[in-house]
Structure formats: structure tokens, C-alpha cells
Amino acid sequence: MNKHSQKSTEEITSVNNLLSQAVQLVQAARQLVVRQTNSVMVFTYFHIGKLIIEDEQDGKQKAEYGKSTIKALSKKLTKEFGKGFSATNIEQMRSFYNAFADKKVPPPIPQTVSEELESLHDSALTSPYLGKQEITQTSSEDSHYHISETVSQKSIAVIFPLAWSHYILLSRIENQEERSFYEIESVQGNWSVRELQRQINSGLFERLALSTDKLKIRQLAAKGQIIEKPEDVLKSPYVLEFLGLQEKKSYSETDLETAIISKVEHFLLEMGKGFLFQGRQVRFSFDEEHFFVDLVLYNRLLQCFVLIDLKIGKLKHQDIGQMQMYVNYYDRYIKQEFEKPTIGIIICKDNSEAVVEITLPKENRQIFASQYKLYLPSKVELKKLVSE
């Protein structure tokens, strides 16, 4: 290759790199604008809901009055700003404020240096989220609502990190602890609205509550699901309705496994945080015999292998013994020194806690069994189990 050709290649590579970086920069900027715009919109809807509630509490609680107010507000805002202010959406703003009224939300009116703004200014100077900020004062003669640039781009994104569609769903959850849990998990897991809806429908909060110490249920509400030990990855039961297998239809363990592989992304989401897929029917051998683990996962938060065995029938002590052998093999021959002990989970149609308890030693921290269901369980039933 001559010098001229080499130079041309280098120039092309340089230009391509420049174009690629420019595209990434614009994409990042657009995503930032979308997030900021969304946060300000949610912030605005919160305060519209607040206006409605405060107006109702001002001695005007008659149902007919409330309906006429919402209709009038919808008509006015639609005329001024177009779509997005239907009577239904205005009612959702009201419900949104009711559900999240305890949030510390800054006021949208900085026209005077009120005590609230001074408090906001003090917190902005010390907040690890916001850093040093400037709170601007507007003329006291200007009585219009105004959202300062500082508030909209910084603190609001921390207070309302999700899209309006997420908050519509969350507002329908009556239990405050459950609502807080789903908000945290949606942010941490970057859940779409569809995924949030599925997790609510599947009773994730209740299932995790069933799988953990009841004294730690409040921790779920305050911090979301925290993965620190093997028991933290368990759910009771696992809900596999997304596989499309019918409860009464005859199917084999191979059918169940194949369905999971075809929906592996959904399966990993159902398993929980930090799971990565390694393989299906992973073989290992000793004494001239071959053994196959149905599914091998890895949890990056626990830093350990997670072996899954699928059983469509009733759990037997032989199943637990087989899983014990799988776990022992991985601990002795596969895992590296820096990795934690292997976890084995038997996901079965009919779980027997008595069989698990009598087969495994009391100090067991590695092998677990949990039921699976091919349909969304009743939230009423799950809540009843949690409260028992």
C-alpha cells in the first residue's frame, strides 16, 4: 500500500470516527432533553392536581362541583395548549397528587423569597444530587406561575424520574409501601410501562414479601429489592405466564425449558436483578457419566453461578439430591476463588417445604425450591398470604 492510499484510509477512519461521535452526542443530548421535558411535565401535573385538591378542600367538596371544575379546567387548558388535557387526564393529575402528596416537591412560584424557597436554596447548596445551585428571584409584581430552569433541570428529575404513564399506573396502587417499591424498582430496572404493569399484575411486591423476613418488608418499600445473600433472589412463586403454556395442557419439562429459552429476556426479568444467561442443558462429566443442568445463570450482584432445575411434577427428595450434586460440582471444579458459593434453585409445579426441610441441612444457604405458576396469581390471595 502506497503512502497516498494509507493516508486516504486514515482520513476515512478519522472522518467516520468524527461522524460516529457526533451522532452519539446528538442522541445523548436528545435523550437528555426528553428526560428533562418529561420531568417538568410530571412536575406540572403534580401541581395541577394539588390546585384541584386544595380547591375541593376549600369548602367545596360536592361531587357535582368537582366534576364541573375538572370539565372547565380541561376545556380551558385544551384551548390554550391543545391535546393532553382531557377530563380523564385532569382526573389522573388529581389522583397523582393524592398518591404522592407526601413527596417533597418544590413550589413552582419563585416570585418572592418565601421561606419555602429559602429552604429549597439551602438544600440545593448541600444536596449530593444537585450540587451548588442558584435560586433566582422574580419581580413581586409578576404573579404568574414560573418554573425556574434550576429547579426543572436538576431537582425535579430526582423527584420525578419516571414518565407520566408510569405515574398513572403507580397512582392506582393504594398501599404506600407497595407504591414506593414499584417506583424504585422501575427506576433501578429501567422498566417500560408495559413491564411495570406486568410486575404489578404478577404481585411482585407480595411475592418478594413472601420470600423474605417479614420485618424487612419495609426495606422493600424504602430501597427496593436488595441482593446481598442467596435468599434475596428468591420469589414465591415464580410467575411464568409470558411463556404461553396453558395450565391444563399436557407439557413436558423439555417443553417448559424450550418455552423459557424462547422468552429468555422475560425469564431473566422474572428471576430478578443481576441475572445473566450462560447456557441450556450445560453438560459436565465425571466417572464416565454425563450430567446436564437445565439452565445455568450467573448473578453479577452475588458473583456466583445459579443453577436452575425445572420440574413439572411434585418435588421429590431425589430432585434435591441431584441439585446438591450439581452445586457441589460447580463449587469444586467450575467457580473461581473470588466467586461466591453456587446457588441451586429447583423451580417446580408442586413445592413441598417439608421435603426440602428434611432433606437439606439446617444451615443450608445454597439450595432452594420454589413453585412456578403459568398464570397471574390473584393479588388478593398473595396479600392474604403476606399478612398471615
pLDDT in tens, 236-274: 789 998 898 877 677 889 999 999 999 999 999 999 899
* All residues at 6 or more sequence positions from 337 whose CB lies less than 8 Å from its CB, including other chains: none
Predicted model pTM: 0.71
The answer to whether residues 328 and 350 belong to one domain is yes
Count of domains forming the chain: 2
The answer to whether residues 205 and 335 belong to one domain is yes
Mean pLDDT of 22-43: 69
The answer to whether residues 328 and 189 belong to one domain is yes
Res 5 pLDDT > 70: no
Is position 8 within any domain? no
Smallest CA-to-CA distance from 45 within 141, 158, 129, 171 is with 171
Last residue of some domain: 129, 162, 195? Answer: 162
Is position 32 within any domain? yes
The answer to whether residues 117 and 183 belong to one domain is no
Res 180 pLDDT > 60: yes
User: What is the pLDDT, as a whole number, of residue 70?
Assistant: 84
More confident call, 103 vs 110: 103
Last residue of some domain: 140, 162, 184? Answer: 162
Res 72 pLDDT > 80: yes
Alpha helices in the chain (DSSP H): 3-57, 63-81, 87-100, 115-126, 149-150, 156-159, 164-171, 176-189, 193-201, 204-210, 217-223, 253-262, 264-271, 317-329, 353-359, 379-387
Instruction: Name the band, by pLDDT with cuts 50, 70 and 90, for residue 43.
Output: confident
Instruction: Name the band, by pLDDT with cuts 50, 70 and 90, for residue 209.
Output: confident
Smallest CA-to-CA distance from 368 within 342, 344, 349, 348 is with 344
The answer to whether residues 201 and 306 belong to one domain is yes
Is position 305 within any domain? yes
The answer to whether residues 264 and 336 belong to one domain is yes
The answer to whether residues 19 and 152 belong to one domain is yes
The answer to whether residues 226 and 359 belong to one domain is yes
Last residue of some domain: 162, 187, 212? Answer: 162
User: What is the pLDDT, as a whole number, of residue 154?
Assistant: 59
Is position 93 within any domain? yes
The answer to whether residues 215 and 158 belong to one domain is no
Instruction: Name the band, by pLDDT with cuts 50, 70 and 90, for residue 106.
Output: confident
For 379, the domain range is 176-387
More confident call, 210 vs 95: 95
Res 146 pLDDT > 80: no
Using CA atoms, how far apart are residues 74 and 57, in angstroms rounded to an integer? Answer: 20
Burial of 179 (0-12, 13-18, 19+ CB in 10 A): buried
Res 304 pLDDT > 50: yes
Is position 9 within any domain? no
The answer to whether residues 151 and 227 belong to one domain is no
Is position 144 within any domain? yes
The answer to whether residues 196 and 74 belong to one domain is no
User: What is the pLDDT, as a whole number, of residue 140?
Assistant: 38
CATH code of the domain in which 238 resides: 3.40.1350.10
Is position 288 within any domain? yes
Is position 168 within any domain? no
The answer to whether residues 279 and 355 belong to one domain is yes
Q: Are 347 and 238 within 8 A, CB to CB?
A: yes
Q: Which amino acid is at 329?
A: Y
